[in-house]
Structure 1
Amino acid sequence: MASITKRGSKWQYRVSWRDADGKQHSKNKSGFRTKTEAANDARQAELELSQGANLNRGELSLPDYWHDWYTTYKSGKRATATEYFYPIIEKTLKQYFGKETIKDVTPTEWQTFLNQYATNHSHATGTKVNGYVRAMVRSAINEQTLRSDFTFDAEVGGSKGIKESNKYLQLDKFKQVNQIAFERATFNYLSYVGIVIGAQSGMRASEVLGLTWDCIDYENHTLTVNKSWDYIHKKELKATKNEASNRVIEVLPSVTELLKKIHTQQIEWEMKSGHRNPLELVFMSNRGTVLTDAALNKTLSKIETEIDIPIEHQIRFHGLRHTHVSYLISQGLSIYYISKRLGHAGIQITMSTYSHLLDAQRSEQASKAVAALGMLQ
């Protein structure tokens, strides 16, 4: 049973218990205005103990609880980029919350933190932080460390990022980028080859750079995506983003013909230079290194400048993926097929990401629907 005592003008309680190993523990809490308030809180603590709660876990600081949670449940189980983000969140929580215990964090404090975080971070990054911490909080509630979710109903601010109109190229400019990239694509200028692949397939940069020669089907004119290249952290092959990312993409014969020519040029370079390409990477350059994301973006920017696209309207390499989708949607292709072609985990992701493009087609689709129904009369 809890002991209730008065300390100065305030009341406090002390709850003691033994864990499964027989070790003695206790928890003190003070600052109550009345004896009744202290007793009520003590009864709640005893009830939680009877239901298997670990009251000492609530005494961990928010950053420490976060560290314990992600190293236990997440480390070694997520994509490299995601796992690099966990310690960054820990550092951010330490800077803002310091040693404040997880049980003492209030919804107002969390919202204030998100508001401050939004002043120099994007909405997307703020949403990630809030979502990851919310998952931790739910775990804490499940193990009865917390009684309620301090992230519930939190609003995430921050800049909205790139305007939708600047995420993809207009059709005439997209055509020019394709033509220039095709014309200049050789083994000595691999970044142009990368732009061709990105524009023609909608593949992510990591997927393009992770292509190996056995992924190219010259007969059926397809590219197999079954791995990717970690160009940010470890500079090595890694698994694709998710299971759905493993796919086969149909491309034009001109694309596979270009790749066949590049392969021949690469083999000739290997014989002359003595360099080897043990992983059989398509984008192993004549410097003996794998092409970089930075090189792709630099070359794309060069093309865009040549065709008079202002810097503020230029896209990066990932924008070729958006433009690829935009073009396919404009040609009336099924969103289901497009989703599979992109390697999305579900069609809802595709519809959410490209809703602005789908909405633009609504009036045209509505007219077709009415015309088709009219044929029934």
Structure 2
Amino acid sequence: MKGSIKKNPQTGKWDIVVDIGKDPFTGKRKQKKKRGFNTKQEAGKALTKILNEINEGTLFEPANMTVNQFMDIWFNERRLSVERTTYQNNKAFFKIYISPQIGSLKMFKVTPLILQQFVNELVEKTNLASSTIHKIFDVLKVSFSRAVKLKIIKENPVVLVDLPKVKKAEMKVWDINQVNFFLENVVNVKRPSKYITAYLLAILTGMRQGEILGLRWKDIDFQTKQIFVTQTLSHDGKELRNWTKTKAGKRAIHIPDVLNNHLTVERKRFLENKLMYGNEFEDNDLVICTKMGKPVQSTNLLRAFKNDVKKVGLPIIRFHDLRHTHATMLIQQNINPKVIQERLGHSRIGITLDIYSHVLPSMQQEVAMKLDEMLGTNTIL
């Protein structure tokens, strides 16, 4: 690396100029300049310090690129490392919210103050949920973290921003009487819901929506009465993935006779339908599919469930809450939490206990009664 010291004829002071290589983004030569040293000796010391930092690899000089320019690079990387839907969601958040606000700024000029003002505007001027604002800033946090590693910026300003507190959504579940009432009025009627199989899978296995919509007939062992969760359907219904949300998500679930018998009947109907439509049938081997064998869009399932719940007059809950209902029923039957964790496909038992801690206080009285039974009321008196 080369450096020079020159006296500025206009100011009478000494300036230094150091050639620090090429800009990795533009390919152009970069120079570091410092001006205003009182003596040539001071300028010489400063030049030596910079040259030492260059040799040791500790010199930091921010790249001269905008947020938009860097994000183009980052998204090219991101596309190869995350799921398609995650990539699309990240890009949508950037285009809609981030780029209009800070896209034209130089990366090194994005400060915590600028980002905090951005947060405040999202809170005050939009109807976005706090969870959505967190997702927007998750995109910034991860991308700027990558920029630090690439030495485009020195520090990640996103980590110093205060985000609005996310309100934990209140979990709504049905009790066993409501579950039975729903099934009686949706199954045992002249025209049962076409999504009854999906409802039963959610209630009796606790499977996730994507797991249910991605379930294949070959994943069911009718002899051992087990379902093997190995495939999911993406949220947009465009991709069948032969992987699950987590490693623990790939699991075997034992099913009750009522579900095994129902699936046996549905399997026969599936084969009859396949035979009827012949070459027009799109055989994905899906348990939940359209009459032509195509995957069911999640929006159609959710809409149908909401309408069916309204028809029978039960409290409205989300389809995902059937999974919570399943877990809650098992906890109330004193099933070991470890078994519930494995059944739901949680990676850690702590996740299971945290999500369903609301059920545990109601069981405290039962524990006290059990202790009385074991010890006897007059044991200590």
| TM-based fold match above 0.5 | yes
CA contact (8 A) 2:50 2:59 kept: no
Larger mean Cα displacement after TM superposition, 107-116 or 253-262: 107-116
Give the match for residue 215 of structure 1. 219
- Within 2, Cα distance between the matches of 1:300 and 1:281? 19
Distance of 1:371 and 1:7 partners within structure 2: 94
- Map residues 339-350 of structure 1 onto 2, 5 A cutoff: 339-350=341-352
Structure 2 Cα separation of the partners of residues 7 and 178 of structure 1:
89
Distance change >3 Å, CA 318–CA 222, structure 1 → 2: same
One of 331, 334, 351 as aligned partner of 2:333: 331
Taking the aligned partners of 1:107 and 1:248, their CA distance within structure 2 comes to: 47
Using the alignment, how far apart are the partners of 1:256 and 1:29 within structure 2? 76
Within 1, Cα distance between the matches of 2:160 and 2:337? 32
Shift of 1:7: 9.7
With over 3 angstroms needed to count, the CA separation of the structure-2 counterparts of 1:101 and 1:135, relative to structure 1, is same
Q: Return the offset for 1:96.
A: 0.9
Shift of 1:150: 0.9
**Secondary structure in structure 1 of the residue aligned to 2:233:** strand
Displacement after TM superposition at 1:262 (Å): 0.7
1:177 aligned onto 2:182: yes
In the alignment, what sits opposite 2:319? 317
Give the Å deviation of 1:233. Answer: 5.2
Q: Which residue of 2 aligns with 1:52?
A: 57
1:253 and 1:299 mapped to 2: Cα distance?
Answer: 26
- 1:175 Cα offset (Å): 2.8
Q: Tell me the residue number matched to 1:367.
A: 368
Q: Which residue of 1 aligns with 2:21?
A: 18
Partner of 1:96: 101
Paired residue for 1:203? 207
Aligned residue runs from structure 1 range 1-377, under 5 A: 1=3, 15-18=18-21, 25-27=29-31, 49-52=54-57, 58-72=63-77, 74-91=78-95, 92-118=97-123, 119-157=126-164, 160=167, 163-165=169-171, 167-183=172-188, 189-232=193-236, 234-274=238-278, 275-309=280-314, 314-358=316-360, 360-361=361-362, 363-364=364-365, 367=368
Q: Counterpart of 1:175 in 2: which secondary structure?
A: helix
2:364 is matched by which residue type in structure 1? S
Percent of residue pairs bearing the same amino acid type: 20
Evaluate the alpha carbon distance shift between residue 362 and residue 192 of structure 1 in structure 2; reply closer, same or farther with a 3 A threshold. Answer: closer
Distance 1:45 1:171 in 2: 73
Contact 1:181 1:193 (8 Å CA) reproduced:
no
Deviations 1:244-282 (A, max 9, x none): 211111111110111110111121222223243532111
Q: Is the 8 A contact 1:57 1:145 kept in 2?
A: yes
The code of the aligned residue for 1:164 comes to E
Amino acid at match of 1:142: K
Are the aligned partners of 1:284 and 1:290 in contact in 2 as well (CA < 8 Å)? yes
| One-letter code aligned to 1:137 | F
In structure 1, distance between residues paired with 2:74 and 2:362 = 45
Query: What are structure 1's unaligned runs of at least 5 residues?
Result: none
- Structure 2 distance, partners of 1:20, 1:153, is 28
Q: Which moved more, 1:74-83 or 1:318-327?
A: 74-83
1:366/1:220 Cα in 2 relative to 1: closer, same or farther (>3 Å)? same
Larger radius of gyration: 2
In 2 relative to 1, CA 60–318 (structure 1 residues): closer, same or farther, beyond 3 Å?
same
* Structure 2: distance between partners of 1:368 and 1:139: 56
* TM-score between both structures, scaled by the size of structure 2: 0.79
1:121–1:158 Cα contact (<8 Å) kept: no
Amino acid at match of 1:335: P
Distance 1:366 1:50 in 2: 68
**1:279 to 1:308, Cα distance in 2 relative to 1, 3 A:** closer
Secondary structure of 1:196's counterpart equals helix
| Residues 272 and 77 (structure 1), Cα distance of their counterparts in 2 relative to 1, 3 Å cut | same
Q: Taking structure 1 as the reference length, what is the TM-score of the superposition?
A: 0.80
Question: How far did residue 345 of structure 1 move?
Answer: 2.3
Cα shift at 1:24: 6.4
Contact 2:115/2:158 (<8 A) preserved: yes
Compute the displacement of 1:68 (Å): 1.8
Structure 1 residues 252 and 42 mapped into 2: Cα distance closer, same or farther (>3 Å)?
Answer: farther
* In 1: Cα distance, 2:9 partner to 2:323 partner: 67
> In the aligned structure 2, how far is the partner of 1:76 from the partner of 1:185?
50
Q: Deviations over 1:309-329 (max 9, x none)?
A: 3xxx51221121122222222
- Please tell me whether the aligned partners of residues 53 and 145 of structure 1 are also in contact (alpha carbons under 8 angstroms): no
User: Could you tell me which amino acid in structure 1 is paired with residue 20 of structure 2?
Assistant: W
Q: Structure 1, residues 177-216: CA drift from partner, whole Å, max 9, x if none? A: 2333443699x95311111111111111111111111111
More moved, 145-154 vs 219-228: 145-154
Q: Quick one: which amino acid aligns to residue 132 of structure 2?
A: T
Q: Contact 1:54–1:145 (CA<8 Å) still a contact in 2?
A: no
